[in-house]
Amino acid sequence: MLIERPPFLYRAFFPGAHWRFHKEEKVVYLTFDDGPIPEMTPWVLDVLDQYHIRATFFCVGDNVRKYPHIYREIMERGHLTGNHTFHHLQGLKVRSKTYLKDIQEAEERIESKLFRPPHGHMRLPQFFNLRKRYDVIMWDVVTRDYSCLMTPEQVFDNVKKYTRNGSVIVFHDSLKAEEKIKYALPKSIEWLLEQGYQFRLIGE
């Protein structure tokens, strides 16, 4: 529970960061972290196309450097991108100067006003600095598709258990998540549609 749905106190640490949008409406916001990579991102794009859903991809700058054509495809297919640092740095493990410089390096390849901190960790000075020029997008539901402790079924269960109006939901277009997302993403989309949720793009 503490992982899948971040607790109120944790949210209160980061005033002005976004976890949910439009709580009064039956809408959800799909997001995908850590790509783009050829093994996973095109598969995710095809699934989203199949259901006519648009989503937000928080990209790692170094992956955009390696696979610029996949990054372009994300945008050409109508999705949004966000900055997820250049080297997937954890804010608590590095000095603020290093962290902010890494994000700036990613900015050269990712043109976006959206930022998501890897692992959801940031020092407060880092957050306050970033908040000035970014919308910091956290999440309301972590599917935990990246975790080797989870089965594909449990990842799908997390979506069913924790999604509510306005949830920002996180999946990963990463190799660690492959087995789980390939099962849980289509299942989750079908389930969310059955429940009457509409899929929105951040900012809509």
Could you list the residues that contact Zn ion (CB under 5 A)?
Answer: 33-34, 118
Structure-derived torsion over alpha carbons of residues 153, 117, 93, 66, reported in degrees to the nearest 10: 90
Residues linked to residue 51 through DSSP beta bridges, in sequence order: none
Name the minimum Å distance from CB 195 to Zn ion.
Answer: 27
CA atoms of 192 and 197, how far apart (whole Å): 5
Nearest CB to Zn ion, comparing residues 177 and 189: 177
Nearest CB to Zn ion, comparing residues 33 and 145: 33
Active site residues: 33, 172
DSSP, residue by residue, 7-42: -HHHHHTSTT-BSBS-TTSSEEEEEEES---TTTHH
Q: Which two tokens stand for residue 139?
A: 């999440």
Name the minimum Å distance from CB 146 to Zn ion.
Answer: 8
Name the minimum Å distance from CB 30 to Zn ion.
Answer: 15
Nearest CB to Zn ion, comparing residues 107 and 165: 107
